């Protein structure tokens, strides 16, 4: 069930004039103006209508600014899904989530230069060879000259992490996404990137979402992303960071740029690397969200333990402090014993040297006491 806030735009659409769609092919869709993100957009909503092709998208009203085309069954997005007959120069948002999309042909999105947000979440897209067919179209997003947000959460076919990692760089290089600001790649089973510079051809990239993948380390270059302000790495398989990784994070903090990092849900090992990470957390200018709740994993006597990083550090400091205290006490006792032994062995010499001083002090005390009594 959708939350109430998510339903509000749909309720506004329901109140809109259905006949504003202007085409029988768009039967079942709702067309009208909707207030979204502090602006009013003319929206075409074709949700859960079980469409099996995109022919109706060639009949979109020219005033369309947002297209919601979700919950249908479209295995293949053919070339030029919007046709050549309509002017969609005002189209800003395309949402094609949850359509069972397996393949996007080259130039599928044509004549969409004004689109700023493209959402392809929860599909089954393949971008590698399958059944002797080439699904690899490196220019798939080449017509999105003004694209600022690309949402690809759970967008790719299962068990294709190697192909995805190998091909993403080609897609970014060939698509000229020079204005891309935000990139979502969560829940795609990504393990590694063949090219560590996979994101370096996205010069305006500010936010990268890589949560809920299988990434084992910082295996891509972040130093090239001069404008990066947010990196989501939560719920991956990262067990440690190298010192160079931590320095790379620090390099992203400048006088005019803050940098935020998400690290929760990773199985950090409770070893020297985690101590280095904790010490870094105490002094870095990077904002690490929920850093007091970070955990490390430790196996002992056949059992696995999950320890809170902060509590572990406090416990270690307490143990060190206790050990230092005990050591000081032991050394003090040894010193006193040695002094006593020395004094006993050299008692005649000590007595001859300090005896007169002791006698003088004793006489002075006696004299002071008598004088006090006379008064």
Each residue's pLDDT tens digit, 160-185: 666 677 778 888 888 889 999 999 99
Computed from CA positions of residues 9, 14, 16, 21, in that sequence, does the dihedral angle turn out positive or negative?
A: positive
Residue 310 falls inside a structural domain: no
pTM of the entire predicted model: 0.78
Out of 67-81, 286-300, 353-367, pick the least confident. 353-367
| Tokens standing for residue 53 | 């092709």
Q: Contact at 8 Å (CB) between 44 and 68?
A: yes
How large a percentage of the chain has pLDDT more than 70?
Answer: 74
Expressed in angstroms, the distance from the first to the final Cα of the chain is: 99
Cα 146 from Cα 94, distance rounded (Å): 13
- pLDDT at residue 55 is higher than 60: yes
Residue 24 falls inside a structural domain: yes
Residue 339 falls inside a structural domain: no
- pLDDT at residue 361 is higher than 80: no
Q: Contact at 8 Å (CB) between 263 and 288?
A: yes
- pLDDT at residue 322 is higher than 60: no
- pLDDT at residue 11 is higher than 90: no
Tell me if residue 332 falls in helix, strand or coil: helix
CA-closest candidate to residue 71, choices 42, 101, 93: 101
Residue 314 falls inside a structural domain: no
- Looking at the DSSP bridge assignments, the partners of residue 197 are none
Helix or strand (DSSP H, E) at 129: strand 129-130
Cα 276 from Cα 279, distance rounded (Å): 5
Domain at 49, CATH number: 3.80.10.10
Domain extent at residue 215: 4-305
The better pLDDT of the pair 126, 123 is held by 123
Phi-psi group of 32: left, alpha or beta (phi > 0 → left; psi -120 to 50 → alpha; rest → beta): left
Cα 127 from Cα 40, distance rounded (Å): 35
Residue 327 falls inside a structural domain: no
**Strands 260-262 and 149-151, how do they pair?**
unpaired
Residue 352 falls inside a structural domain: no
| Tokens standing for residue 74 | 């479209």
The better pLDDT of the pair 76, 37 is held by 76
Residue 323 falls inside a structural domain: no
Tell me if residue 47 falls in helix, strand or coil: coil
Total domains in the fold of the chain: 1
Residue 18 falls inside a structural domain: yes
CA-closest candidate to residue 60, choices 37, 87, 94, 95: 87
The better pLDDT of the pair 32, 107 is held by 32
Q: Contact at 8 Å (CB) between 73 and 99?
A: yes
């Amino acid at each position: 069930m959708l939350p109430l806030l998510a339903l509000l735009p749909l309720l506004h659409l329901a109140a809109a004039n259905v006949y504003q769609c202007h085409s029988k092919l768009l039967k079942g869709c709702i067309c009208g103006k909707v207030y979204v993100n502090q602006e009013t957009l003319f929206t075409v909503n074709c949700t859960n209508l079980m469409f099996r092709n995109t022919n109706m998208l060639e009949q979109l009203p020219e005033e369309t600014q947002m297209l919601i085309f979700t919950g249908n069954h479209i295995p293949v997005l053919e070339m030029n899904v919007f046709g050549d007959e309509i002017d969609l120069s005002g189209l800003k948002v395309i949402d094609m989530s949850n359509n069972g999309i397996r393949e996007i042909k080259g130039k599928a999105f044509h004549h969409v230069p004004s689109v700023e947000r493209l959402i392809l979440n929860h599909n089954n897209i393949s971008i590698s060879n399958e059944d002797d067919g080439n699904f690899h179209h490196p220019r798939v997003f080449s017509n999105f000259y003004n694209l600022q947000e690309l949402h690809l959460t759970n967008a790719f076919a299962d068990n294709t992490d190697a192909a995805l990692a190998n091909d993403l760089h080609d897609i970014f290089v060939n698509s000229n996404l020079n204005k891309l600001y935000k990139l979502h790649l969560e829940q795609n089973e990504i393990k590694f990137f063949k090219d560590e510079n996979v994101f370096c051809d996205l010069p305006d990239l500010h936010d990268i979402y890589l949560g809920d993948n299988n990434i084992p380390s910082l295996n891509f270059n972040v130093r090239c992303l001069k404008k990066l302000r947010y990196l989501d790495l939560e719920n991956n398989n990262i067990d440690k960071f190298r010192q160079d990784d931590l320095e790379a994070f620090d390099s992203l903090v400048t006088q005019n740029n803050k940098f935020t990092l998400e690290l929760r849900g990773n199985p950090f090992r409770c070893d020297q690397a985690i101590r280095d990470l904790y010490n870094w957390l105490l002094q870095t200018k990077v904002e690490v969200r929920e850093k007091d709740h970070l955990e490390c994993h430790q196996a002992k006597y056949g059992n696995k333990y999950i320890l809170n990083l902060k509590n572990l550090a406090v416990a270690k400091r307490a143990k060190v402090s206790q050990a230092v205290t005990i050591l000081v006490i032991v050394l003090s006792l040894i010193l006193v014993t040695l002094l006593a032994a020395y004094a006993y062995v050299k008692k005649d010499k000590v007595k001859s040297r300090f005896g007169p001083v002791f006698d003088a002090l004793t006489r002075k005390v006696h004299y002071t006491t008598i004088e006090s009594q006379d008064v």
